[in-house]
Each structure stands twice: as structure tokens, then as C-alpha cells.
């Protein structure tokens, strides 16, 4: 196996949501999708997860078409199945029954065996004042770092 690092993250997730539980899930992909992901040609920024007939799918995840794929190429925004245990799916399903709760992907990475995995989180949306507090804390932290560098 080649040591190819995949670094696909959802940077807005921690700003927009309170993250509660995290799960690592496998993902069902075709050959051209895997090749595009290994080249970091994917985005999970607008993606979210849904439960359909007892299975979890990731929607609105964009995987760029593989340039050498010919007519075997995949659809860039197709629903892709996530692989989780039945107990985890049941736990997530109970969590999603409450209004305001959602399931979002945080990052996509390669496992030690070379499989693509997705880190998903059960989340609750933040209110506007929560986001403002996060920005204030971030600014204060940056200011502290500037002061510490000068000393």
C-alpha cells in the first residue's frame, strides 16, 4: 500500500453545530470514486446523512469525476451508503427523531488497510449567539498568542 494521505474535512461543522457523538463508518464506493478521493478531489462541506430503510446514506457529498474514467465514471453527487453496526444505526435513529438534531460528516480519511472511512457526528445546530461566542473566544485566543510571541 502506498502511503497516500487523504485530508478531506468539513471545516464549518464545529462552527455551526454542537457535536455530541462521533462514529467512524466505512463507505461503499466504486473504482473511479476511490481514485478521485485518493487525489483529494472530494468535498463534504455541504454533505449530511440520512437514514433510509434502516441504512445510513451520505447525501450531497461531491466527488469529482475521475479524468481517466471514460464512460465508467460515477455521478458526482450520488447518495453513498455508510457501513455501521445495527446497534449504532439504531442509536443514531433514536437521536435523529428529536427536532433540530442532525448527522453530519466531519472528515474523510484512509484507514491503515487503505479503506476510505468517514468520521460522522451526531450534532445539534448552534444558535447565533453561540456562534458569536465562538468567534470571540477565537479572537481572544489569537490575541493571547500574539502577546506571547512578543514576550
Higher model confidence: residue 122 or residue 151? 122
pLDDT of residue 28: 92
Mean pLDDT, the chain, whole residue set: 87
pLDDT score of 105 more than 60:
yes
Kindly list the structural domains of the chain, giving each domain's residue range(s) and its CATH number in brackets, ordered by start: 8-126 (2.40.280.10)
Q: How far apart are CA 97 and CA 46, in angstroms?
A: 21
**106 within 8 A of 73, measured Cβ to Cβ:** no
89-124: buried (b, 16+ CB within 10 Å) or exposed (e) per residue?
beebeebbeeeebbbbbbbbbbeeeeebbbbbbbbe
pLDDT of residue 14: 84
Taking the C-alpha atoms of 127, 92, 79 and 74 in order, what is their torsion angle to the nearest 10 degrees? 110
Cell of 92: 443514531
Higher model confidence: residue 26 or residue 150? 26
Q: What is the mean pLDDT of residues 51-63?
A: 91
pLDDT of residue 145: 92
Banded pLDDT at 24 (limits 50, 70, 90): very high
**9 within 8 A of 107, measured Cβ to Cβ:** yes
Q: Which range is least confidently modeled, 18-22, 35-39, 82-86, 126-130?
A: 126-130
Positions of E strands within the chain: 8-9, 17-27, 42-43, 48-52, 55-59, 62-63, 80-83, 101-110, 116-125
pLDDT of residue 1: 43
Amino acid at each position: 500500500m502506498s502511503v497516500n494521505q487523504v485530508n478531506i474535512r468539513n471545516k464549518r461543522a464545529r462552527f455551526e453545530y454542537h457535536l455530541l457523538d462521533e462514529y467512524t463508518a466505512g463507505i461503499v464506493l466504486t473504482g473511479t470514486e476511490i481514485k478521485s478521493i485518493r487525489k483529494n478531489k472530494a468535498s463534504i462541506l455541504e454533505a449530511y446523512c440520512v437514514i433510509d430503510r434502516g441504512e445510513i446514506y451520505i447525501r450531497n457529498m461531491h466527488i469529482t469525476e475521475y479524468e481517466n474514467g471514460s464512460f465508467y465514471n460515477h455521478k458526482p453527487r450520488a447518495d453513498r451508503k455508510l457501513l455501521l453496526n445495527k446497534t449504532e444505526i439504531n442509536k443514531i435513529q433514536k437521536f435523529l427523531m428529536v427536532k433540530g438534531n442532525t448527522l453530519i460528516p466531519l472528515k474523510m480519511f484512509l484507514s491503515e488497510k487503505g479503506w476510505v472511512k468517514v468520521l460522522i457526528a451526531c450534532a445539534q445546530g448552534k444558535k447565533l449567539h453561540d456562534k458569536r461566542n465562538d468567534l470571540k473566544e477565537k479572537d481572544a485566543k489569537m490575541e493571547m498568542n500574539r502577546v506571547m510571541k512578543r514576550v
